[in-house]
Chain A
């Protein structure tokens, strides 16, 4: 079992090293095959682990493997440990499964790019890092995977590093994640100080006594972890890096910024839920932040004109749902939504990628239109993804979003408020998703499309099409893993690790389902009315609410605020220090000493007048003084 786990973890790492060392000696396609092959190997190992776990009793499904000690200092000992339990295997399946599909897709998408090998190496590095994150058996190793995931994200966002926008986006993503890392690490210090360890089992067992329920320390720990989660998952207030991250190639957006990395925050909260449950206020704060993000992102998505940015804000919004879920203890439902979201969001990104590929790189939806006729297969894939996203049954998103919503209902006033927000969010989701669908695929093709669309026999290379197909199928069937009131396979699978709150049943559940369905179809209907045919209605609405449109188009000025509050002050302070303190004071300090000494010596030298009579007088006076002194003293 250990062998399987470590093979799954290191197989992509070996691929990275191989691609790096072989360099130009292998051709580009082989680099892609190496990376995706390694990921497939990880997937196979993970599947084997899954079945092995199935064969065990639920209480017996937690295996820790620590082949070597990673770090020690005095009494602190941190092993290089890997934890195989239902939660980690669940995440591993999503990461390696969806990851494999996207890596294969990328072989076709990136074909012909100048430095393709570098791309595949980075992708494999990412898979390794993400696996390390979800497989880690202690918090420090989780943070190690966490950081390397951020690193891979940086490398992939500014993959096309000749473009200034990409370079800036990469730096921004990394630095914002670093802020999350900083808060994360502070939480770890408290844990080390109070429990003496960072192993999950030790910390969770010791925490109730060491930290105390609701104590300041517990709150600080939870806040630190939440800070990291918020940064990684692009929730308010550390969300501004995600839209910019769309500068990376589309498969990157699909894999990292939809399916896996951004869900790491959700995974963290679920994994460390024993710590969050000691600070319920912070846990609920996570839910509130999720709700705020959900709404804000949904609104901003309504005015975006870049096909990928719409999907990015949608991701932000959906992760908001997951945060809302974990905020109120619906761990199983949130992980279920994480999984289905991985499927349909990756599907949407990849379908969008097919569109972008067909239009030779154009991403502005105002230059699209009528593509349903030109790219029918892509259109159908996109439609499946859109229906899943909008949570229309029987597509997967319906079941998972509903699972979260119905878990919120019976949980007091906060639960109801968040449920309400979720319903509004469902309306917005339907609206922006189908706005996108209609603008891109319906109506008359834009002149741009007529010029630039190039169709081969298939709508894209085969390597791009069949992963999309697989994901489309998954987006349809995966929902049936949890059917309300019939079975809850995901929640039950995760039960040994985290106990989730029960979903509502009976009348309440039905009410919730009908409300969310109503909201979603309402959103689709409005989109139909406004965007089905090109018309003036959207412009008219914008004219009636100019301030709203302006605010949304500026993404509520978060970027400007951060620039003014953090980046520019830091830059100005640094420049000021460099100019005013470092230059004059520190660097020229010895110069001052030198001139000072010279001044003094100049003054002393003034006594040497060169006049004999002066010297003689001095002699005489001195002699007289001495004589008097001697006479007096003696």
Chain B
């Protein structure tokens, strides 16, 4: 029941905003913000009541949909999906908060789309039936299409087109794979499907969809434009949460259901992910704008997460999941900060920025803190996760770990470049002297994300002790 509420509350709120005649857009927006916070509270309650010692599905709901094909509305929570849902709730709350404060046009509709997206994403993480999973997977696309296509920047149409075309191409392959799997096994119930699949083609069908969404190199053609043209809070959700659904897909579906093909394809997938890690880091090092750096850094981090998943061992999986949560928070914070910078300077071009630290201590502190956690400085939670991932992949082959170690140095290079280009030396030509420090509202939205990261840096075991119980 609670799972269904977690999924449907944001969707119902979105519908309510669309249908009811609201007094003003701002009133509708306030309602949306309230719902986002309520959802977060609901998740906290669920987490507190969750039994992390038990293995298996919790908070289950099972209602038959097509009995002849054994398709059901079946949802439930595992320990790892609980954390991912929590990430969704936190990042969406921050995004809605930021969107509310920055006052987009037609605010109510805008925020309601974010809520709808939240509901669909939670559905993806909670679904235990393949058809239901597919429904929610596609449902994520609709609000994103509108959000980027209507509220995006100057190049939004091309960005949206590319994003949708790539994603749908992958999802259609996954649909074929799902149908084949379900008909083959006689059921679409995910809890019963583990470990039997042997078909390479079906595995690749699933992998195609997840590879495009993650994105795994070289399927990332949609990423730079989508991240650049989206409004900051949409980019935060896109990079922070939606990309994790793809990693979740690998982790919960593709690899467990098809262990044989996964093992066969492990090396090619690792090659692609390793290339993506280094490629993303190098491109982030030379990207000319703030969003570009964050986008390519995101590409690199997602590929790192995939490396952990492809290791298929305790260390790799745990590290990957921890990094999923970390990167979700980091990416969201960075995109919201990018939004703050763009508000003040109307540009993201690094050559036009600089010297923003002077007189803006809050901005400087939060940007530096987020930045050093992002580059996984030893002592941070991102480092703990990266250590586990690389430790896991070291067992598979030491070469992959060496590539990861190189990426550690590259991450330092690109992140420090970003920090310095924005904050240090003389004020850039686009930085007006009267540009303000971070306002209390902005701090109120971004600081909690950073605070969670700091808490996790002190205690990463908060998550790592409470995942994959019983699997490893």
Contact = CB atoms under 8 A, between A and B. Distances in A.
Verify whether A and B have any Cβ pair under 8 Å.
yes
A589 B394 CA distance: 34
A174 B416 contact: yes
A73 B377 contact: no
B221 A147 contact: no
A253 to B, nearest CB: 20
A154 B420 CA distance: 11
A76 B391 contact: yes
B159 to A, nearest CB: 10
Contacts of B355: 162
A20 B218 CA distance: 43
Interface in B407-464: 408-413, 416-417, 420, 423-426, 458-461, 464
B304 to A, nearest CB: 14
Contact of B465 (A72, A179, A590): A72
Most chain B CB within a 10 A radius of its CB, from A71, A185, A193: A71
B460 A189 contact: no
B315 A74 contact: yes
A183 B405 contact: yes
A460 to B, nearest CB: 28
- Interface size class of chain A, counting residues whose CB lies under 8 Å from the partner chain: 35 or more
Contacts of B423: 161
Given A162-B426, A577-B279, A171 B221 contact: no
B282 A587 contact: no
Most chain A CB within a 10 A radius of its CB, from B279, B282, B458: B282
Nearest to A571: B286
Contacts of B395: 193
B257 interface: no
A182 interface: yes
Contacts, number: 165
Interface stretch (A138-146, A475-483, A523-531, A618-626): A138-146
Most chain A CB within a 10 A radius of its CB, from B165, B218, B286: B286
Interface string A538-572: 00000000000000000000000000000000110
B322 to A, nearest CB: 9
B166 interface: yes
B368 interface: yes
Interface string B323-361: 000000000000000000000000000000001011001
B135 interface: no
A147 B383 contact: yes
Given A144-B378, A158-B424, A189-B391, A118 B361 contact: yes
Nearest to B362: A23
Given A145-B379, A185-B390, A189-B401, 15 more contacts: A71-B460, A75-B314, A76-B388, A147-B379, A151-B372, A163-B425, A167-B420, A167-B425, A171-B417, A190-B394, A193-B395, A571-B285, A571-B286, A574-B282, A586-B220
A600 to B, nearest CB: 17
Main secondary structure of the interface of B (DSSP, over half): helix
Contacts of B161: 590
Contacts of B406: 182
A69 interface: yes
A582 interface: yes
Contacts of B401: 186, 189
26 contacts: A20-B365, A68-B459, A68-B461, A69-B461, A70-B384, A71-B384, A72-B318, A73-B319, A73-B391, A73-B472, A76-B388, A115-B361, A144-B378, A158-B424, A161-B420, A161-B425, A167-B424, A171-B417, A175-B412, A175-B413, A175-B416, A179-B409, A186-B405, A192-B394, A589-B221, A590-B162
Given A71-B384, A150-B377, A577-B279, A162 B424 contact: yes
B283 interface: yes
